[in-house]
Amino acid sequence: MSGIYNVNKPDNEPILDYTLGSRERSLIEEALRELQEEILDIPLIIGGKEIRTGIKKPCSLPHDHKRIIGYYHEASEKEVQLAITSALEAKTKWEALPFQHKASIFLKAAELLSTTWRYKMNAATMLAQSKNVYQSEIDSVCELIDFFKFNVTFMEQIYREQGVSTKETWNRTSYSGLDGFVYAVSPFNFTSIGGNLACAPALAGNVVLWKPASSAVYSNYFIMKLLEEAGMPKGVINFIPGPSSRITDEILKHPDFSGFHYTGSTKVFSDIWLKIGQNLPRYKSYPRIVGETGGKNFVFAHKSADIEALSVALIRGAFEYQGQKCSAASRAYIPISLWPSLKERLLHHVTKLKLGDVTEFTNFMNAVIDQRAFNRIIGYIDDVQASNDSSILYGGNYDDSKGYFIEPTLIQTNNPFSKTMVEEIFGPVLTLYVYDDNTFEETLNICETSSPYALTGAIFAKDRHIIDFMEQHLKKSAGNFYINDKPTGAVVGQQPFGGSKASGTNDKAGSKQNLLRWLNTRVVKENFSPPTQMEYPFMS
Ligand code: NAD
């Protein structure tokens, strides 16, 4: 049977409010209770089989770190080899499965996540990664659904785009997955990113080994179970949590390694790229490398900016999810003419931010992810306490006795090159540099050149000529650029996400651009009227 099928045009998944008394509020509270009553024993999933190695690591709550809600088993070299074999065994049938059937699995996963899986997935992310209900809803539910649905649509568009044919020839372009397997390595901070790193290459016809971040294994395991319920064939995605560099070294030695799909810090990405280069002679094909990495995201205000909108953008942009979004606002440039009233508005807002457990819904902020992150972030705060060019305007206190809590911290500096103005901190710390209105252009140059990253950035101005000027001037500063908005909150299908320079390969997660990286393209020319004479006319 043949047919050319149309995929339904996707809409972004509506975000539920979880207001007191709502249906979703009681369902999420129930899911949070249920998950906390049980201790999960999380296996590896290889070739569809659950494997328990006995080398176990705890899944604890960042906001209450002595509480353990599960243990996960770690992969060793043996399981990595098994995962590669299982993936390659699954490859031929998966690649041959018609697109409509691959797409159906992801569309069904989206539907399940929107309905029966919604609260379990949301609660798992809230607990394991210490996210409030809203932050978790936009990540683990809405964005993951959007990745599933929009990627199906983008893939359909890729398949439909065909070269020109003529009266005598028919030119067809067809695609398969890459020649071997893809290795996906995901960060802790977005459950949806983990899902997308594994699923985008799979939708394109690849088989995948997925190594989640240790602190996100708990929620990422639920994605594997969701995909299983949606009908994902065994061995297409193999889940192998465990010691990062040992697993990675083992995988990168394999001749069938053909793609790397990564999100995380810049240093880890660069180190892995170097290892891939060193292993190049072993590989059967040139591996595709896609990585979205760190950022030092800015908000730059002009004197014509709306102070109220600017203050809200700074607070939400810097402190939602404890500043642990790759896009979080981390440095700001404020004209001195706006500073007195902006400072007052910032202090007014920041004092209202409550910090604590995710099950207490009045908390805007929760804990940072783990002890290592806590120590790194407070290191920056302690440095400021001892510095003579920067000072703490608000916050700066921290306490890890129960959970890894760090107050939202505002730093004021008179040095636009100070450490907290140029290095990624990845925590609830915003540094503000107040510039003289007369040095506007010079300060724009500093913003553009003082950081090696180019992930997100926002400008605030009402003057249209100034908006145009800033947009042009800062054109290499951010892969996602915002005008009169906070630099966070990219939505799949609306603002495809990613940055260049030290922020990654800018292949835009959740876009056609990203999916193209996971495809092998074959062009077929059929000639209905092949020449039957050897001589060309000009020869006569
Ligand atoms: P991370 O670099 O610590 O870890 C990312 C992944 O790499 C994890 O799975 C980790 O286990 C693995 N890893 C760590 N060391 C490794 C090694 N030596 N060899 C192989 N794998 C290794 O990052 P994280 O703390 O999970 O996430 C935060 C970082 O991710 C920040 O820098 C943030 O900016 C970045 N991020 C970027 C984006 C983006 O779209 N640009 C999105 C989310 C996060």
Position 2 scores a pLDDT of 87
pLDDT tens profile 368-379: 999 999 999 999
Q: Any idea which residues carry the catalytic annotation? A: 292, 326
Q: Which residues of 4-15 are buried (b: 16+ CB within 10 A; e: fewer)?
A: eeebeebeebee
Instruction: Determine whether the shortest distance from the Cβ of 369 to ligand 1 is under 6 A.
Output: no
Instruction: Determine whether the shortest distance from the Cβ of 187 to ligand 1 is under 6 A.
Output: yes
Please tell me if the domain spanning 30-293 has the same topology as the one spanning 297-483.
no
Question: What average pLDDT does this structure show over 431-447?
Answer: 98
Q: Whose CA is nearest to atom 19 of ligand 1?
A: 245
Question: What average pLDDT does this structure show over 350-375?
Answer: 98
CA of 324 to the centre of ligand 1 (A): 12
The domain limits of the chain are 30-293, 297-483
Give the 3-state secondary structure of 374-437.
HHHHHHHHHHHHCCCCEEEEECCCEECCCCCEECCEEEEECCCCCHHHHCCCCCCEEEEEEECH
> What superfamily would CATH give domain 30-293?
Aldehyde Dehydrogenase; Chain A, domain 1 (3.40.605.10)
| 468: Cα within 13 Å, side-chain hemisphere | 3
> What superfamily would CATH give domain 297-483?
Aldehyde Dehydrogenase; Chain A, domain 2 (3.40.309.10)
Tell me the pLDDT of the chain averaged across its residues: 98
* The pLDDT of residue 431 is above 90: yes
* Tokens coding 52: 């328990």
Contacts of 337 (CB under 8 A, 6+ apart): 303, 437
Rounded Cα distance between 13 and 5, Å, is 23
Please state, as a whole number, how many other Cβ atoms lie within 10 Å of the Cβ of residue 21. 6
Instruction: Determine whether the shortest distance from the Cβ of 213 to ligand 1 is under 6 A.
Output: yes
Position 284 scores a pLDDT of 98
Rounded Cα distance between 458 and 111, Å, is 34
Question: Which is the closest atom of ligand 1 to the Cα of 504?
Answer: 41
Find the helix packing angle between 23-37 and 118-129, rounded to 10°.
60
CA of 176 to the centre of ligand 1 (A): 29
Question: Which is the closest atom of ligand 1 to the Cα of 426?
Answer: 31
- Of the chain, the percentage scoring pLDDT greater than 70 comes to 100
Angle at 457 between CA 474 and CA 146, to 5 degrees: 125
Please state, as a whole number, how many other Cβ atoms lie within 10 Å of the Cβ of residue 458. 27
CA of 312 to the centre of ligand 1 (A): 28
Q: How confident is the model at residue 340 (pLDDT cuts 50, 70, 90)?
A: very high
Instruction: Determine whether the shortest distance from the Cβ of 220 to ligand 1 is under 6 A.
Output: no
Rounded Cα distance between 216 and 298, Å, is 27
Top mutation candidate among 72, 144, 189 for ligand 1, by most atoms within 8 Å of CB: 189
